[in-house]
């Protein structure tokens, strides 16, 4: 048997994927199957799950409910669909803003003298060494009623002798957007930097040589060659934004509830893991569909990675 193994390339190949296979099954497939099974069940009184096969949780997610005014058996609420939609738009807005912020930064780092490059990349990464939650707390300090911004504005107003009423920035959708954009910016900068850094200077010179102004060079050369980075960054930002609940918890308060918060509350507060599982799966399906259409339109960019 060992002799055959030594001689057969394909048998060796099979053997080599076994660790990956174990990992995938243990960490991905089994949990997913469990989640699916749970999502078809019902919560019972002591916070456990009664295993059934019912679509009640999914019907509830679509907005149909029995909790209606007297006399009506089922009625419809946009509560959950609204949360899904809000999460999608937030994911979209965060991604777009991150692209707009990250591109110039990444371009700057890629084009600056190499001796500065490591320092700048280091500075991009430094915030990621502090805890995620602490970074969000920092934004609370900045945005809240007696926070950094309002204090500065108040102080300036005091100097100018004009009346000042603190701006209500925290616990708004805007605050959540700012927090998300900030949290995930490095995940956009790094892949875009990687693809821009690969563009040889002679390509910019060739474009100029052939009569392209800097603007047209950007449109015809820089942007297409940066696409793989933008695509990768988009996936790295959009997917986690859809699932994060800490940012909206701390900066959005009760105002801004996202899918992440909804799931978290089902598991921790409402003690209904079945509905939580259903929402989780719905979110995953949504993300996969969005990513599928996105990559089908823009590709993963591998064919143009130089």
Partner 1 sequence: MSEFAIELRDVVKKFITPEGNELAAVNHVTMQIKNGEFFSMLGSSGCGKTTSLRMIAGFEWPTEGEVYIDGELQGRKPPFLRPVNTVFQSYALFQHLTVFQNVAFGLEMEHTSKNDSRRRVGEALEMVRLTGMDKRYPKQLSGGQQQRVALARALVKRPKVLLLDEPLGALDLKLRKEMQLELKSLQKEVGITFIYVTHDQGEALTMSDRIAVMSFGKVLQMGPAVEIYERPANRFVADFIGESNFLDGSVKSVKDGQAVVYISAWGQELTGIVTSKVNVGDEVAISIRPEKIRLSDQSTPNAISLDGTVVNSTYIGSDTHIYLDVRGQRLKVWEQNRVSTLDPRAYYQNGQKIQLSLVPENTLVLPKE
70 is a site residue for partner 1 (CB under 8 A) = no
Identify the residue among 192, 207, 239, 242 touching partner 1 (CB under 8 A). Answer: 207
* Residue with smaller CB distance to partner 1, 107 or 139: 107
* Residue with smaller CB distance to partner 1, 111 or 220: 220
Q: Of the ranges 59-67, 98-106, 161-169, 220-228, which one interacts with partner 1 (CB under 8 A)? A: 220-228
Identify the residue among 7, 67, 209, 269 touching partner 1 (CB under 8 A). Answer: 209
Length of the chain counted residue by residue: 306
Shortest approach of partner 1 to residue 235 CB, angstroms?
Answer: 20
111 is a site residue for partner 1 (CB under 8 A) = no
Identify the residue among 26, 224, 289, 298 touching partner 1 (CB under 8 A). Answer: 224
Identify the residue among 120, 212, 246, 270 touching partner 1 (CB under 8 A). Answer: 212
Identify the residue among 138, 208, 270, 284 touching partner 1 (CB under 8 A). Answer: 208
Shortest approach of partner 1 to residue 230 CB, angstroms?
Answer: 13
200 is a site residue for partner 1 (CB under 8 A) = yes
Identify the residue among 62, 101, 142, 221 touching partner 1 (CB under 8 A). Answer: 221
302 is a site residue for partner 1 (CB under 8 A) = no
* Residue with smaller CB distance to partner 1, 48 or 216: 216
203 is a site residue for partner 1 (CB under 8 A) = yes
Q: What is the 3-state secondary structure (H, E, C) of the chain?
A: CHHHHHHCHHHHHHHHCHHHHHHHHHHHHHHHHHHHHHHCCEECCCCCEECCCCCHHHHHHHCEECCCCCCCCCEECCHHHHHHHHHHHHHHHHHHHHHHHHHHHHHHHHHCCHHHHHHHHHHHHHHHHCCHHHHHHHHHHHHCCCCHHHHHHHHHHHHHCCCCCCCCCCCCHHHHHHHHHHHHHHHHHHHHHHHHHCCCHHHHHHHHHCCCCHHHHHHHHHHHHHHHHHHHHHHHHHHHHHHCCHHHHHHHCCCCCCHHHHHHHHHHCCCCHHHHHHHHHHHHHHHHHHHHHHHHHHCCCHHHCC
Phi, psi at residue 43, to the nearest 5°? -75, 145
* Residue with smaller CB distance to partner 1, 32 or 304: 304
213 near 124, Cβ under 8 Å?
Answer: no
Q: Of the ranges 66-74, 182-190, 197-205, 237-245, which one interacts with partner 1 (CB under 8 A)? A: 197-205
- Please count the residues of this chain forming the interface with partner 1, following the rule CB under 8 A: 19
Under the rule (CB under 8 A), what is the footprint of partner 1? 200, 202-203, 205-213, 216, 220-221, 224-225, 304, 306
């Amino acid at each position: 048997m060992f002799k055959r193994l030594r001689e057969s390339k394909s048998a060796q190949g099979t053997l080599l994927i076994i660790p990956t296979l174990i990992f995938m099954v243990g960490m991905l497939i089994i949990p997913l199957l469990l989640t699916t099974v749970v999502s078809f069940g019902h919560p019972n009184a002591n916070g456990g799950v009664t295993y059934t096969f019912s679509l009640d949780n999914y019907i509830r997610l679509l907005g149909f409910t029995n909790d209606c005014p007297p006399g009506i058996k089922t009625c419809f609420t946009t509560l959950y669909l609204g949360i899904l939609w809000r999460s999608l738009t937030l994911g979209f807005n965060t991604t777009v803003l991150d692209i707009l912020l990250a591109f110039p930064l990444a371009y700057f780092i890629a084009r600056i003298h190499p001796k500065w490059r490591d320092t700048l990349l280091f500075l991009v990464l430094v915030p990621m060494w502090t805890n995620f939650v602490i970074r969000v707390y920092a934004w609370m300090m900045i945005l809240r009623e007696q926070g950094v911004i309002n204090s500065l504005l108040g102080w300036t107003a005091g100097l100018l002798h004009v009346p000042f009423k603190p701006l209500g920035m925290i616990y708004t959708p805007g605050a959540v957007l700012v927090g998300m954009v900030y949290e995930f910016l490095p995940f956009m900068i790094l892949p875009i930097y990687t693809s821009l850094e690969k563009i040889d200077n002679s390509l910019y010179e060739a474009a100029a040589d052939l009569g392209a102004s800097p603007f047209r060079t950007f449109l015809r050369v820089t942007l297409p060659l940066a696409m793989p980075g933008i695509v990768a960054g988009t996936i790295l930002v959009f997917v986690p934004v859809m699932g994060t609940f800490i940012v909206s918890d701390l900066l959005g308060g009760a105002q801004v509830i996202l899918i992440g918060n909804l799931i978290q509350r089902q598991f921790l507060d409402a003690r209904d893991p079945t509905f939580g599982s259903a929402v989780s799966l719905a979110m995953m399906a949504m993300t996969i569909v969005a990513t599928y259409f996105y990559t089908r339109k823009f590709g993963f960019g591998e064919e143009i990675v130089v």
